[in-house]
Amino acid sequence: MADDRLSRDELRAVIDARRELGPEYEPALVESFLDKLEDGIAAKVRAEVDARVPERQQARGRSDPSLTMAMGSLALGIPLTGIAAGNGGLTGLLIAWGGIVAVNAVHALNRRRRDRR
């Protein structure tokens, strides 16, 4: 409500200034008023979005640890697959990928526990 009142007061001030300065200043006065109005609307929208979006999603610039874990697993999985299959055959391959799956499963379970808190 206070913002609405401020906008009305500012509009009245623009109209009064136009009367005093003349019609040649009207475009600049209107542009200035509209800029202030846009800034006010943008601030209200930002506040509303911030109130509705969970904190996890607001953390900009932070990478998702699950994505990092998945990409790391794939990057390590490629050479491990070659080494394990070359040296241990199918058994070595299953052990290597079993370890990768186990590490990712533990990571996912720990993350789920943290998110519940």
Q: Does the structure show a pLDDT above 70 at 61?
A: no
pLDDT computed for residue 69 by the predictor:
83
- Whole-angstrom Cα distance, residue 2 to residue 9? 10
Give the pLDDT confidence of 9-58 residue by residue, as tens digits: 888 888 888 889 888 988 888 888 888 888 888 888 888 877 776 655 55
Give the pLDDT confidence of 62-75 residue by residue, as tens digits: 566 777 888 888 88
Q: What six digits make up the tokens of 69?
A: 């874990």
On whether the CB atoms of residues 53 and 35 are closer than 8 A, the answer is no
pLDDT band at 1 (very low <50, low <70, confident <90, very high): very low
pTM: 0.44
